């Protein structure tokens, strides 16, 4: 039976959060979990708010609803149904899974690939499969939560270095001299700041100190590089990343995650990683959608060109208005507000004026750097961006962020 004191502690914890949410609702500051009724590119209909311009989506290349991708998903349902009734290693593998893994390996210029049921699960299971008790795992301070959780689950020694600080990474490598495996894990594009990892230096240090390198490309697949292949293409450093991780839920309009790398690494993960061995296979329509999306990325290069034009246009517009966007050079663009109150007031103004955008507060970002996080995509027209810029400008004035 549960101890009364334990029950009270849990009730207190839950009440604390409930109070915060109630306060947010009373102030008009609660913007989470808003149901979207209809999608039309960047124009969405939100229940209770009406038509809004989306600036919080990860659909960087505007592939959601693409006719070829929708048709592939529907055909997969007709052929295979809606699920697999099993884990991949037993009865759950379809020809479609293998085709998708081959397509990912080709796109990422790797020998092989393996898919998992989400990006979160991919990081969790890969890190905790590859390192263990006698190993060391070294991460950038701003790495995604799924990487951090994988490190904690692994029971390896977990060391963090200051964000994108190569001298601090070298210190971590020197101090963590280990007879076991040393694994460095970084995001390619950081999900709260939108800046890019210094891959040339990270990969040089990994080689120098004999560490394996894993890079999370959740926000760089389809965004970085001349053809959207990601961080290695961006720096023209093909082959320096040992473990190439990505998701199928952002640029790719599906769900799931992947690891691309050597054939042996992939075989190892397919037999040793618990999320692959003990969890059901991705459903057929989602696999077929992802497979078709990789083809569309190659067939329609204009999408990446449009995204890159939009990023430059939006960043220039924000800078011209005096906003601080940190070092973002990508589709994730923080608009730093400082205090939580100001970020919430900015978000409220934007939401009330037709812009769907979310505030990001501690602990997701350091205290004093609360922000709006604006995601620009290929779905935006220049008129859409102009409309958003004028709302941000008015919000910035109203909230005292810009003069």
Ligand X SMILES: Cc1ncc(COP(=O)(O)O)c(C=O)c1O
Catalytic residue selected from 97, 108, 144, 219: 219
- Decide whether 121 or 307 has the Cβ nearer to ligand X: 121
Active site residue 250: yes
Catalytic residue selected from 250, 306, 348, 380: 250
Active site residue 306: no
CA distance 370 to 339: 6
What is the nearest approach in angstroms of ligand X to the Cβ of residue 142? 10
What is the nearest approach in angstroms of ligand X to the Cβ of residue 187? 5
Bridge partners of residue 139, in order along the sequence:
160, 185
- Decide whether 41 or 257 has the Cβ nearer to ligand X: 257
Active site residue 108: no
Q: Please give the residue ranges that form the binding site for ligand X (CB under 6 A).
A: 118-120, 123, 144, 146, 187, 191, 216, 218-219, 247, 249, 257
DSSP string for 309-338: HHHHHHHHHHHHTT---TT--SSEEEEEEE
What is the nearest approach in angstroms of ligand X to the Cβ of residue 150? 10
- Decide whether 224 or 389 has the Cβ nearer to ligand X: 224
Q: Coil, helix or strand for 195? A: coil
User: Comparing C-alpha atoms, which of 278, 286, 230 is closest to residue 128?
Assistant: 278
Element (H or E) spanning 172, and its range?
helix 166-175
User: Comparing C-alpha atoms, which of 80, 150, 166, 70 is closest to residue 118?
Assistant: 150
Query: What beta strand segments (E) does 248-326 contain?
Result: 257-261
Beta carbons of 297 and 321 less than 8 angstroms apart? no
What is the nearest approach in angstroms of ligand X to the Cβ of residue 185? 11
What is the nearest approach in angstroms of ligand X to the Cβ of residue 372? 17
Catalytic residue selected from 117, 118, 191, 273: 191
Beta carbons of 382 and 311 less than 8 angstroms apart? no
- Decide whether 250 or 348 has the Cβ nearer to ligand X: 250
Which residue has the CB atom at the shortest distance from ligand X? 119
- Decide whether 196 or 401 has the Cβ nearer to ligand X: 196
Q: Which residues are catalytic?
A: 191, 219, 250
């Amino acid at each position: 039976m549960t101890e009364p004191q334990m029950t009270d502690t849990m009730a207190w914890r839950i009440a604390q959060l409930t109070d915060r949410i109630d306060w947010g609702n009373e102030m008009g500051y609660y913007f989470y979990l808003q149901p979207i009724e209809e999608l039309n590119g960047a124009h969405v209909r939100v229940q209770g708010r009406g038509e809004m311009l989306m600036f919080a989506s990860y659909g960087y290349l505007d592939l959601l609803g693409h006719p070829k991708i929708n048709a592939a998903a529907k055909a997969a349902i007709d052929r295979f149904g809606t699920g697999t009734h099993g884990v991949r290693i037993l009865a759950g593998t379809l020809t479609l899974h293998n085709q998708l893994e081959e397509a990912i390996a080709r796109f990422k210029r790797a020998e092989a690939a393996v898919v998992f049921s989400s990006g979160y699960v991919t990081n969790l299971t890969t890190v905790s499969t590859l390192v263990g008790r006698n190993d060391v795992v070294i991460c950038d301070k701003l790495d995604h939560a799924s990487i951090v959780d994988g490190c904690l689950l692994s029971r390896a020694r977990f060391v963090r270095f200051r964000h994108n600080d190569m001298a601090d990474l070298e210190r971590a490598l020197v101090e963590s001299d280990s007879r076991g495996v040393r694994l460095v894990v970084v995001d390619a594009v950081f999900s709260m700041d939108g800046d890019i990892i210094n891959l040339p230096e990270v990969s040089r240090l990994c080689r120098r100190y004999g560490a394996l390198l894993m890079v999370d490309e959740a926000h760089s697949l389809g965004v970085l590089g001349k053809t959207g292949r990601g961080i290695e293409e961006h720096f023209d450093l093909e082959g320096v990343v040992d473990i190439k991780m990505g998701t199928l839920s952002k640029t790719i309009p599906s769900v799931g995650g992947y690891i691309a790398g050597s054939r042996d690494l992939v075989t190892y993960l397919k037999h040793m990683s618990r999320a692959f061995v003990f969890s059901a296979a991705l459903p057929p329509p989602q696999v077929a959608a992802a497979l078709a999306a990789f083809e569309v990325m190659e067939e329609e290069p204009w999408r990446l060109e449009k995204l890159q034009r939009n990023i430059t246009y939006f960043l220039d517009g924000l800078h011209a208005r005096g906003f601080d966007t940190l070092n973002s050079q990508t589709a994730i663009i923080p608009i730093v507000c400082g205090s939580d109150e100001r970020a919430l007031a900015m978000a409220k103004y934007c939401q009330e004026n037709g812009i769907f955008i979310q505030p990001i507060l501690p602990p997701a970002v350091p205290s004093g750097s609360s922000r709006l996080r604006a995601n620009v995509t290929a779905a935006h027209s220049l008129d859409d961006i102009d409309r958003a810029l004028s709302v941000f400008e008015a919000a910035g004035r109203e909230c005292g962020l810009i003069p």
